A and B are shown apart, each in its own frame.
Chain A
Amino acid sequence: MGGEAEARKLLEKCVERLKELLPPDAIVDVKVKGKDRVYIEVKREYLPEALEKVYWELGGYLSSMVGTDDRSVDGHYRLYYIVSIEENVRHIQWKPWVVVYTKVPWDNPKFKSTTPKVPAASWYEREVKDLLGLEPTGHPDPRRLALPDDWPEGLYPMRKDFKFYERPPRQPKPYMFRPEKVSEGIVQIPMSPIHALADEPSQFRLFVDGERVVDVDYRMFYVFRGLEKLAEERFTYNQTSFLAERVCGICGYAHSTAYCEAVEDALDIEVPERAEYIRTIMLEVERLHSHMLNLGIACHLTAFDWGFMELFRIREKIMKVAEILSGGRKTYGMNLVGGVRRDIPKDKAKKVMELLKTVREEFKKALDVITSNELFLRRCEEVGILPKKVARALSVVGPLVRGSGLPRDTRYDHPYAAYKYIRVKPAVESGCDVFSRLMVRAREVLDALDIVEHALDQLPGGPILNEEKIELVEYAKGIGYDEAPRGENVHFVVIGKDSRVHKWRVRAATYNNWPALPYMSRDYTITDFPLIVASLDPCYSCTERVIIVDVKRKKTVTVSYARLVHLSRKVSQNPTHTPQLL
């Protein structure tokens, strides 16, 4: 294929350019793998410069960062910054993955923070500090991120000498929300521990001046389950694909696909074409139900419950499609390393095609009604604006970045599974607001219907699973990626001993998106906040309560969920009216 030669050439160009930009002794080692990946080792002291050049000069987006504990191998920790080069090379089919990595010695676990130069690295470096005990010096926000507040100091769970069954004693310590934001007249609103409308528990601190949100701070990772640790110590590599499916309640299949791809990449396992098509079909089915859920919730939050009910009714047909194709409504359990486990017989494909036809018609009608509803539009348009510049700096992914006018889509940028054969054009909207994101999703629903129908029609013959004996190569590294409904998922795998993985790093889409929340919510009202969070598409549920603390008057008022919804609706029906919360 011509695309591969082009990709290789670009890869070489990237390496050469980087060599020019950095001092001559900075780069220690360069290893090209396959057509589109390169691992570049840099000296520890040059790490921030190297990442800065790759990110801003070569036009990369930070896709993931992984810290591994390789002390048992050569006495070092390693830090891998996985960057996807996308800017100015949109036309190339396989865009390069540049992995900048460095060694950190065991007796001096410190490295210079790259966050001041590349803001997208902030969360990753805080996480590495928590879990591996590698200190990013000069990080602007060194608070805890992943570990609970009562976890003892100096104990790092992702180090290899910590066992998964250990239960350390608790040492409660309060978490400090950024105090400099509290000034005269600014009121703090904690939304916690179960946040309004997100089903993951997370704590938000809204700083409001009257009804206007001045700033937002957050504390998350209350459901940090240590799945990666469990996989590394207890699961075999083939069982982990099922564990990966349980990373997320909505886009589980995308995670399991990304995990399998990472192992396949590490061990150079070929996947049969039919399996690639089946994976694509299932991924798109997942996208369909996830986007419909998000659109439905957006309607619900703007008190337009007809849209919510109608979209969920249509979504039920997609759930049926998933049931017919995989035997399960939500957890498909289809993936194994080397292919898929379940074939799609012709009669099933026909049944699915018929269902999809009705879905398309009904969805188009519903969308027409929703987008012609003025109340809905007035709640969504020009709310939660995420400027293109911020989106670029934070490497946000998925409909969020496409809604801000950047055509990032892993299906297009790094074709995996059957997207090599079925080219997808990213759905881009330039409004940067909640409405743009919803429209991106709506367009992707229609695209996904096309893709599923096309793939079912063009399903090639042949085996569905590569059943050759798998040779496990110790410490082989692999990157797996796919475009989940919420954006790009990146998995990084290092193969270990005894059919286990030495390191498995899951990076879910929302991980890159959360840091953008404060930028999106500033200057909008409290009642817009749930909608803005929803447009980011985390998972949803309902809150029990919201406490409002008036710092000035030292008064606490508890607002029930019902009252919050009531207030939200009041605004939705009369945008000029601001309800009195206190």
Chain B
Amino acid sequence: MAFIKLIEHSSRRGVATHPYPEKPFEVDELYRGKPVLDASACIGCGACANACPAETIKVETDYGKGVRRWTIYYGRCIFCARCQEVCPVNAIELSREFELAAKNREDLTVVAEFKLGSCAKCKGYLDVSIRHVELAQKLLERSEIANIMQELARYMVMCLKCKRSFFVEKLGEATRG
């Protein structure tokens, strides 16, 4: 009896396998695939690098070339979408692409460079990209403290070193009365 049941069931089954390489495999619309950076929107702030559990995204400042360098190495990526979640400008998104095999390691690396702003005081490089400063300015204009914007704008375009000396100067003035 058992075998009759078995034959009955198996005779009803068609082909279950998907003819994969010949036909593309459809994944769900919210599938977490390869993270893709929209370099035109990115400000190079490094929030993604900070959140990335696999340390696959790195953001570093190259003062020699005057750029903020954003790098992703897909070989380490765990497709968790933390970068997408923390991005303040929605510049990175997980696509539905999952076919990531490559022959060279280098093919799995994507680099984006963002120009650093220049310091209003010493004319050296700022520690953040131009876009980062622009975004901060835009946000400030819309915020409640827009009226002291003029004052703030002076600090915003200073490098860390100048900010520090500026602050010490001001502090000195204030204590001297």
Q: Which of A311-353 contact B (CB under 8 A)?
A: 313, 316, 320, 323-324, 326-328, 331, 333, 341, 348
24 pairs, CB–CB < 8 Å, chain A vs chain B: A238-B51, A240-B53, A241-B53, A242-B53, A242-B78, A242-B80, A306-B6, A309-B16, A310-B9, A323-B27, A324-B28, A326-B32, A327-B30, A327-B31, A328-B32, A328-B79, A331-B78, A333-B78, A333-B80, A333-B81, A341-B85, A366-B9, A372-B2, A374-B2
Q: How large is the interface on A (under 10, 10 to 19, 20 to 34, 35 or more residues)?
A: 20 to 34
**Measured CA separation A326–B16 after assembly (Å):** 24
A373 at the interface (CB under 8 A from B): yes
Binary contact readout B39-56 vs A (1 if CB under 8 angstroms, 0 otherwise): 000000000000101100
The interface of chain B, by Cβ under 8 A from chain A, is 1-2, 5-6, 9-10, 13, 16, 27-28, 30-32, 51, 53-54, 78-82, 85, 94
Looking at chain A's contact residues, is the secondary structure mostly helix, strand, loop, or mixed?
Answer: helix
Residues of A within 8 A of B51 (CB): 238-239
The answer to whether the Cβ of A361 comes within 8 Å of any Cβ in the partner chain is: no
Q: Is A368 an interface residue (CB 8 A)?
A: yes
B16 surroundings in chain A (CB, below 8 A): 309, 313, 316
Among B2, B31, B54, B81, the most chain A Cβ lie within 10 Å of the Cβ of B2
Q: When the two chains form their complex, are residues A323 and B28 in contact, meaning their CB atoms are under 8 A apart?
A: yes
Supply 19 further A-B pairs (C-beta < 8 A) apart from A246-B78, A316-B16, A373-B6. Answer: A235-B53, A238-B51, A241-B53, A242-B54, A242-B78, A243-B53, A309-B16, A313-B13, A326-B32, A327-B32, A327-B81, A331-B80, A333-B79, A333-B81, A368-B5, A369-B2, A372-B1, A373-B2, A374-B2
The reply to whether A323 and B2 contact each other, CB–CB distance below 8 Å, is no
CB distance from B107 to the nearest CB of A (A): 23
Q: Bound complex: CA of A306 vs CA of B3, how far in Å?
A: 11
Instruction: Please indicate the chain B residues that have their CB under 8 angstroms from the CB of A309 in the complex.
Output: 16
**A112 CB, min distance to chain B CBs, angstroms:** 41
A469 interface hit (Cβ, 8 Å): no
Closest A residue by C-beta to B18: A316
Which 3 pairs of residues, A with B, have the shortest CB-CB distance? A327-B32, A239-B53, A242-B53
Closest chain A residue to B33, Cβ basis: A327
Contacting residue for A323 out of B31, B54, B81, CB 8 A: B31
Asked if A365 lies at the interface with its beta carbon under 8 angstroms from chain B, I say yes
Taking the nearest CB of chain A, how far is it from the CB of B4, in angstroms? Answer: 10
Bound Cα distance A235, B9 (Å): 51
Compute how far the CA of A440 lies from the CA of B140 in the bound complex, rounded to whole angstroms: 61
